[in-house]
Structure 1
Amino acid sequence: MKFSANLGFLYTDRALPDAIRAAAADGFDAVELHWPYATPAAQVRAALEETGLPVLGLNASRGREGENGLTALPGREAEAMAAVAQAVDYAAAIGAGAVHVLAGVAQGPAAEATYRANLAEACDLAAARGLTVLIEPLNARDAPGYFLSRTGHALAVIEALARPNLRLMFDVYHVQIMEGDLTRRLSALLPVIGHVQIAAVPDRGEPDAGEVDFRHLLAHLAGLGWTAPVGAEYRPRSGRTEDGLGWLQAFRGL
């Protein structure tokens, strides 16, 4: 099993290019980003080329302070598309493969219609650069009011839009809190999954504790034929990423 370091949560005590170098030194197979826009793309690309690590993806902007995305917000379409365009341009500049488009806090039919229309346009923008668009259900405890909270809703949107570059980001932490039944859910959703992320439940720490048996789950995922790196998107319990990497080697053979 291969693993990607999510640099939104890991190695946050250093500049992004140095975080990439640290992830490589510690044995990660790839990296993924949250909002890297304050760092010039050329610096990120240079660190990626130096280390040989691929970058899997990054997030589009959340919007204004306190917001959690724009795609499902009626009346904010221009801002939503500007955020997608920024993400697509940055992703292309650093060689990333995917852009996670955040929905935002919204509810109701107007939000659904806005979300689908904006996602369709986002898919067109991303396809022109050879990129995948990811959508991710977030749990209602950590992201109250977030428009997309269940995998069934995400699947309905993906099937309705029928865009080949629109995929599901299956974050085990969020899905366990909202729905559980992880083994069967992974099997059922595998055809539309574009990326998998892991963290312990309930504390979102390293994936070697908590209520999810990651040895079982990752072995099952490998048995389904998954070969891409799994994203380590957790908050180190000690605060230092290096102090909690025992799981990385322990899970390698799964």
Structure 2
Amino acid sequence: MTKFSANLGFLWNDLPLPDAIRAAGAAGFDAVECHWPYAFDAAGVAESLGETGLQMLGINTVRGDVAAGENGLSALPGREEEARAAIDQAVAYGAAIDAGAIHVMAGFATGPEAEAVFVKALEYACAAAEPHGITILIEPLNPYDAPGYFLASTGQARSLIRKIGAPNLKLMFDCYHIQLIEGDLSHRLSSLLPLIGHVQFASVPDRGTPDRGEVNYHHIFEHLAALGYDAPLGAEYKSTAPTDSTLGWMKRFAG
């Protein structure tokens, strides 16, 4: 049976994080994940995870100056100290709530200097996360939602992962982003499977519930199962209705 994780950056995001975790548990999700949990006390989040029996699969490093439009720090030349502080913050918080992974956000940058900065940041993150059993994730973002984001393709991500060679550095394969960047999801999932640390999904092109749009998620989920991938898949979709009223897809796709 396919397992699902609720991304609480989008689902139940009108609730405080501990309450959103409880709502996800009540709705039947197998795990949770979120974007930036840092406004909430880690002890309270850990308590709600313990109550529900859910694991927090992953959190993100902070974006930087959100008012200025920043979306990550780790590939920005001249911002290395801030990027390391963001990684330290994420590792400490992740360890406190027993999170499985940290998505290290690259930010808007380009060129070889940005790549060198990103590589050093990822090496630092992998070393910091390893004692806690935390995986470091990198995620290509599509050019419609995040024009100019440093990490912009699975090929680029594959090259970075192989270059760094850390066993706890993996790819976040968001089907929504990858469909908009490259398409050909089935073949890409097959070829990238050894590098994948987490899979997310939403409809394309509107990033809504997965039972509409141009991607056949019934096929995608069956394909992942056939490949032997059995970790919870991250529901990271936007909704214009209360979350509980949008979950009909779960029964249809549970398999």
Q: TM-score range by the shorter chain?
A: over 0.9
1:244 aligns with 2:213: no
Give the match for residue 42 of structure 1: 43
Query: What is the SS of the residue equivalent to 2:132?
Result: coil
Q: Which amino acid is 1:248 matched to? A: M
* Match runs of 1:1-254 below 5 Å: 1-65=2-66, 66-238=69-241, 240-253=242-255
Q: Which amino acid is 1:233 matched to? A: E
Query: What is the SS of the residue equivalent to 1:128?
Result: helix
The count of residues paired between Structure 1 and Structure 2 equals 252
In structure 2, distance between residues paired with 1:49 and 1:131: 18
Q: Deviations over 1:19-56 (max 9, x none)?
A: 00100001000000100000000000000001111110
Q: TM-score, normalised by structure 1?
A: 0.98
Q: TM-score, normalised by structure 2?
A: 0.98
> Are the aligned partners of 1:237 and 1:244 in contact in 2 as well (CA < 8 Å)?
no
Q: Deviations over 1:169-192 (max 9, x none)?
A: 000000000100000000000000
In structure 2, distance between residues paired with 1:61 and 1:235: 20
* 1:128 Cα deviation after fit: 2.2
Gaps of 5+ in 2: none
In structure 1, distance between residues paired with 2:223 and 2:132: 33
In structure 2, distance between residues paired with 1:200 and 1:148: 21
Q: Which amino acid is 2:127 matched to? A: D
> Are the aligned partners of 1:4 and 1:31 in contact in 2 as well (CA < 8 Å)?
yes
> Are the aligned partners of 1:206 and 1:237 in contact in 2 as well (CA < 8 Å)?
no
In structure 2, distance between residues paired with 1:129 and 1:47: 20
Calculate the aligned-residue CA RMSD, in Å: 0.6
Q: Which amino acid is 1:249 matched to? A: K
Query: What is the SS of the residue equivalent to 2:121?
Result: helix
Percentage identity across aligned positions? 62
Displaced runs of 4+ in structure 1, greater than 4 A? none
In structure 1, distance between residues paired with 2:195 and 2:5: 20
* 1:237 Cα deviation after fit: 3.5
